[in-house]
Every structure is written in C-alpha cells, then in structure tokens.
Amino acid sequence: MSRSIDRRGEPLESPDSAAWHNEAGRPMAPGLPGLDARAELALLARILFREGYDENLAGHISAKQPDGTFLVTPYGLTWDELRASDLMRVDLENGKVLEGKWTVTVAIELHVELHRARSDIGVAVHNHPRFATVWAARHQVPPIYDQTSTMLGGPLALLDEYGGGVRETSQSQAAVRALGDAQAVLLANHGVLVVARDVRQAYLRSIAVERRCRIAWYVEALGGGTPMRDEVATVGGRMMDENGWPGSFEALARRELRRDPSVLE
Ligand SMILES: [Zn+2]
C-alpha cells in the first residue's frame, strides 16, 4: 500500500492521494477528496444512518480534536441531513458550546462522563439502531454468527438495568462503568454506545455491532445456529479492528458523496 487515507482527518494534498493502493501500486478505487475533521465526521453520521443508526433525533456522536475540544453532532438534525458546517464544537470539561449554529443534546453528559473516564477514546457513537435495541431489550449480548460481526474487535458489554435516559448523570456513569474497557455496550431497554480511537474505527465497530445483532436475530428466529468459535472470532476480529477494512469507509463515503455532495459543506 503506497499511500493510505490520512487517519488524522487533515486535508490531503490531492484527491488521488486518498486512494487505497495494493502492493503493486494499483489503486483499489477512486480516491476521496481531502477531508478535514468536520467532513469526516459528517460522512460518518450519514454512513451510519444507512447502516441502521437512524432513530429520529436520538443519536449523538462526539469526536476529540487535537486542541482538546470535541466536535459533536447537533441535536435537532437527523444524521442523513447533517453537513460538516452543522457540527458543534464543545468543551467537554463543562459541556459549554464553543462554536456552532445549533444546539447539542441534553444527553451530552454521557460523553462528558465517557471521555473523562477513558482518555483513549477519540470517538463515541450513541444511537438506538433497531437490532441492537432488540437485544438490549432482551438484556442479552448476542452470539457472533458471522465474520463481519467479529469486526467489533473485542467485547460487547451489557448494562442490564434501565435507570432512565443517558441525560441522567447517574445513568451516564452506569453506562461508562458497564462499558469498562470494552469496545461497545448495549444499554438495557435503550440502545447502544460504541467507542473507538478514530472515525474509521468507529465506523467499523458501529456497523459490526448492528450487523451482529441483526444476524443473530435472524439466526435465532430460525430456531438457532452455531456461533463462531471464540478463538476464530477473536483473532480475525482484532486484526480487522486494528488495521481497518481497507477501502470500506471510503466506498461508503463515495456513496454518500454521490447521493449528496453538500455533506462536505
Ligand atoms: Zn439514547
């Protein structure tokens, strides 16, 4: 691979530099235009909307920036209409809005508690995707039945008691405790929280969680199946989680750009 996407989300020198290449230098697909942190996060929101993170105004994403502030999705916009300029900049020490034309969720408390407890987290995604919410309602972590579901790359935790929405400080703290050092946590009778190092890892972990919950629902609706062996799921999942699924975020980002190039504005 001669040149990969700039993982810091900083502008790239030219569109071609964003293309993934094989070892012979042949590009896998057309490159993306240069993406700054806002554009990358807006694309993440739109991609996840198509992948089931789509419940009305329920979701919010926070992304840590190099200056210690956080970009946060605004409360009043759905993820499929979000543009880069809609993102809010917030000081998560005190929840104060520093920049942006809209409002932030009252559940910002969840992100405050989360980033305070886990300095390794760069991006946190919360929403109520349908199949994750089904398993959260069942208070059960679904087995892994297929390869894509392994791409969470580590444990899926469970908070098995619903104590009110994540706007409540005590519930936010309970969610963070239940998450521990896992990659994601199902929140009983509510939804899911996924954490990651950066936008691309957040993308893959988020789609892996919902995929795992969806496939397990189908398999168990058939009467049950055979889960993957733990060691196979763990080895393959960790490798993909660490290195990413080459070209995958970029492919879905191109789809969003075809649908609506104004996402970058
Ligand atoms: Zn929620």
pLDDT tens digits, 226-236: 999 999 999 98
pLDDT of residue 18: 57
* DSSP output for 89-139: EEETTTTEEEE-SS---TTHHHHHHHHHH-TT-SEEEEE--HHHHHHHHHT
Q: How far is Cα 200 from Cα 263, in angstroms, rounded to an integer?
A: 17
The three-state secondary structure class of 194 is: strand
Burial class (CB in 10 A: 0-12, 13-18, 19+), 42: buried
Please state, rounded to an integer, the average pLDDT across all residues of the chain.
91
**Rounded to the nearest whole angstrom, what is the distance from the C-alpha of residue 137 to the centroid of ligand 1?**
13
**Rounded to the nearest whole angstrom, what is the distance from the C-alpha of residue 3 to the centroid of ligand 1?**
38
**Rounded to the nearest whole angstrom, what is the distance from the C-alpha of residue 57 to the centroid of ligand 1?**
9
pLDDT of residue 2: 33
**Rounded to the nearest whole angstrom, what is the distance from the C-alpha of residue 130 to the centroid of ligand 1?**
12
pLDDT of residue 11: 38
Q: What is the pLDDT of residues 137-160, one digit of tens each?
A: 999 999 999 999 999 999 999 999
Q: What is the total residue count of the chain?
A: 265
Identify the residue with better confidence: 210 or 169.
Answer: 210
Q: What is the pLDDT of residues 19-77, one digit of tens each?
A: 678 888 898 898 899 999 999 999 999 999 999 999 999 999 999 999 999 999 999 99
Q: Give the residue-averaged pLDDT of 226-252.
A: 92
**Rounded to the nearest whole angstrom, what is the distance from the C-alpha of residue 243 to the centroid of ligand 1?**
29
**Rounded to the nearest whole angstrom, what is the distance from the C-alpha of residue 134 to the centroid of ligand 1?**
14
CA angle in degrees (0–180, nearest 5) for 220-144-197: 135
Q: How many other CB atoms are found less than 10 A from the CB of residue 203?
A: 26
Asked if 84 contacts 264 with a C-beta cutoff of 8 angstroms, the reply is: yes
